Structure 1
Amino acid sequence: MTGDMPKDKYDTTMKELFTDSEEDLIRFFCQIEMQVIRQLNIEFPLVEKKRSDLILECRTEKGPAAVHMEFQSTNDSDIPFRMLRYATDLKQKYNLPVYQVLIYFGDREINMADGLSFHFNAQNYLDYRFRAVDLGGITVEEIKKTGNYTLYALLPLTDRKKRKQKGESFLKECAEEIARTPLSFEEKQKALLRAEIFAGLLYEEQVIEMIFREVENMLDLEQSAGYRRIFNKGIEKGIEKGMEKGRRETLRENVLRLLYRKFKKLPAPYVEKIRTLDEYALGMILDNIFEINSLSELEEYL
């Protein structure tokens, strides 16, 4: 397994790869029935990390709420302070009850507090809590019992105990579980893509290539293997550059790189239009890159 790979980039990748499956994540990680109304895009000027991972306005059995899901690949002792500042800023901005869940998917066991508290006297005290989930503490069987195949992409990050015992064979079992699902070709392809990217957090690149190539052969996915590798490398390189260039420029570079590789040549008017798109529109193109098969279909996103 790998230990030197930069891990903070996967915090953002988790959000990018599940932008079309928010309700699936909520049902599993929040353990409460919710219906997503809209995504809330908000920046927090008072916190170190100015953009939280995923904020959704939801309708719940207890009324409307702002659901904040934070993805974390490393243990960080400052998390409770950051989560509290997110909560207060959300409450101030939207005046909604705030439901927060921290989803940790690091190699080591979670070692972060799930709240803050102090008690000075009857008028001065704090008792703040949020839900914290250690993905590595969830077993493969628990994921399978949900019957939600969208979550299968997370399998390489689950079952820490079994993963450490079985090593590479565990990753192979995860990929094969995805291959055995009754999903369509396209959905299996998407799940394998996500699983391979997440596996990069824990396994060496050559191991990942060997295992997922074998599964691709099983499913006759050779035709799409090139796009898969481009997508993987594009996200990894893009997120690294994003630390210096900013989120929107990173997304723009990823989109243009993938489109150039897919269509070989991209007319100048399309390039100019893409350079003017906002973050949401760029993300939509990235999410649907496999479904965009002609320039006319690309125009629908411009």
Structure 2
Amino acid sequence: MAYDNVCKYLVEWFPESFARWLLGSPVSLAQLQPTELSTEPIRADSLILLRAQNLILHLEFQTDPDPDIPFRMADYCLRLYRRYPAQEVRQIVIYLRKTQSERVYQTSFQRGSLSHRFEVLRLWEQDPEVLSQYPGLLPLAVLADPENPEPRLRQVVRAIAEIEDPKLRQEVKAATAVLAGLTWTPEEISRVLGGLAVRESTIYQMWRAEALKEGREEGLKQGLEQGLQQGLQQGLQQGLQQEAARLTLSQLRRKLGSLPEDLSETIRLLPTEQLEALAEALLDFQTLADLIQWLRESSSN
């Protein structure tokens, strides 16, 4: 999600660039907060809602295909209608990384009689020259030309250098460096960008924080899953051992009568394999001494 959120930051800082690209006109777009929807939103941290005079533009940036996208778009459309019934809603899913998955061609959600359609843009099919016309879209232009990545990245770097505002220039540099990481190695990016200082930019810091957060969450999730699996396995093994000990003690009492408590405790602590062996051996026991002798021999082995 960290890469997706870089695009979210670009939309927040360059709404006019996205309006010209997606709507074809420089309309004024104001950001809506997900909390304005009446029910708890799904993935509210990545939801982008922009509002014009009679239009709400809902954008979803996706690094890779997500099977939940069709439902999510239908769900949000209904929530937006509930909150803003007089507003037209236009929904666009923008896929960043080239893929052969059929999911990136899904433009509808259907469930019974419910049918909902939305738009999809595959960035690698967009005209990089069009994207390069707008400062806020320069980082996306790198991904729009996967067949000629290095020449395109160099062209974007030259265009970035022409941005007059130093702060915006730094942010666009940072976003370009981050999104180029979807197809380039850090060494290649550094070589082409010429070691641009982007680490102090807001976009880079936000992206790094998101990436670290995702890494920690994934690590925690894997740790919990591994711990749960190990715990279940240990619990199963312990349960099997305890049941084997109970059955073996029951058979011994039937065969030999009452057992001393210390002897019973010794048997309860035997591993499952020894309990199974004892369950077979006890058929030949005649006295308590036979059991004690078997335990001694078993422990010495």
- The TM-score by the shorter chain falls in which range? 0.5 to 0.7
- Structure 2 residue 153 is matched with structure 1 residue 171: yes
Instruction: Flag the structure with larger Rg.
Output: 2
Which of 130, 136, 143 lines up with 1:142 in the alignment? 130
C-alpha distance after superposition, 1:27-69 (max 9, x if no partner):
2024466322x3210246555423442112212xxxx122111
Which of 181, 196, 199 lines up with 1:229 in the alignment? 199
Task: Please give the secondary structure, in 1, of the residue aligned with 2:61.
Answer: strand
Q: What is residue 173 of structure 2 aligned with on the other side?
A: 192
Q: Which amino acid aligns with 1:25?
A: F
Q: 1:56 to 1:161 in 2, by over 3 A?
A: same
Q: What is residue 40 of structure 1 aligned with on the other side?
A: 32
Q: 1:150 to 1:98 in 2, by over 3 A?
A: same
Q: Which amino acid aligns with 1:229?
A: R
- Structure 2 residue 19 is matched with structure 1 residue 17: no
- Structure 2 residue 98 is matched with structure 1 residue 107: yes
User: Contact 1:72–1:104 (CA<8 Å) still a contact in 2?
Assistant: yes
TM-score after normalising by structure 2:
0.61
Which runs of no fewer than 5 residues in structure 1 stay unpaired?
A: 1-7, 217-224, 247-302
- Structure 2 residue 51 is matched with structure 1 residue 57: yes
Q: 1:15 to 1:106 in 2, by over 3 A?
A: same
Q: 1:136 to 1:91 in 2, by over 3 A?
A: same
Task: Please give the secondary structure, in 1, of the residue aligned with 2:210.
Answer: helix
Root mean square deviation of aligned Cα: 2.9
Q: 1:142 to 1:86 in 2, by over 3 A?
A: same
- Structure 2 residue 90 is matched with structure 1 residue 82: no
- Give the Cα–Cα distance (whole angstroms) in 2 for the partners of residues 65 and 85 of structure 1: 18
- Give the Cα–Cα distance (whole angstroms) in 2 for the partners of residues 170 and 33 of structure 1: 26
Q: 1:33 to 1:178 in 2, by over 3 A?
A: closer
User: Contact 1:104–1:110 (CA<8 Å) still a contact in 2?
Assistant: no
- Give the Cα–Cα distance (whole angstroms) in 2 for the partners of residues 97 and 90 of structure 1: 9
Task: Please give the secondary structure, in 2, of the residue aligned with 1:71.
Answer: strand
Q: What is residue 207 of structure 1 aligned with on the other side?
A: 188
Residue 245 of structure 1 and its aligned partner are, at CA, apart by 9.2
User: Contact 2:5–2:207 (CA<8 Å) still a contact in 1?
Assistant: no
Q: Which amino acid aligns with 1:17?
A: L
Q: Which amino acid aligns with 2:134?
A: N
C-alpha distance after superposition, 1:155-200 (max 9, x if no partner):
221123333xxxx454334323433x46455543332222112112
Residue 207 of structure 1 and its aligned partner are, at CA, apart by 1.2
- Structure 2 residue 210 is matched with structure 1 residue 239: yes
Task: Please give the secondary structure, in 2, of the residue aligned with 1:203.
Answer: coil
- Give the Cα–Cα distance (whole angstroms) in 2 for the partners of residues 27 and 150 of structure 1: 11
TM-score after normalising by structure 1:
0.60
The structure whose residues are more often helix, as a share, is 2
Task: Please give the secondary structure, in 1, of the residue aligned with 2:71.
Answer: helix
Task: Please give the secondary structure, in 2, of the residue aligned with 1:195.
Answer: helix
C-alpha distance after superposition, 1:209-242 (max 9, x if no partner):
222126x5xxxxxxxx2xx224365334310344
- Give the Cα–Cα distance (whole angstroms) in 1 for the partners of residues 121 and 84 of structure 2: 25
Using the aligned pairs only, state the percent identity: 23
Task: Please give the secondary structure, in 2, of the residue aligned with 1:106.
Answer: coil
Q: What is residue 154 of structure 1 aligned with on the other side?
A: 140
Q: Which amino acid aligns with 2:33?
A: N
Q: How does 1:243-282 map to 2 (within 5 A)?
A: 243=214
Q: 1:245 to 1:40 in 2, by over 3 A?
A: farther
Residue 243 of structure 1 and its aligned partner are, at CA, apart by 4.4
Q: 1:183 to 1:12 in 2, by over 3 A?
A: same
User: Contact 2:174–2:204 (CA<8 Å) still a contact in 1?
Assistant: no
Residue 244 of structure 1 and its aligned partner are, at CA, apart by 8.7
User: Contact 2:177–2:189 (CA<8 Å) still a contact in 1?
Assistant: yes
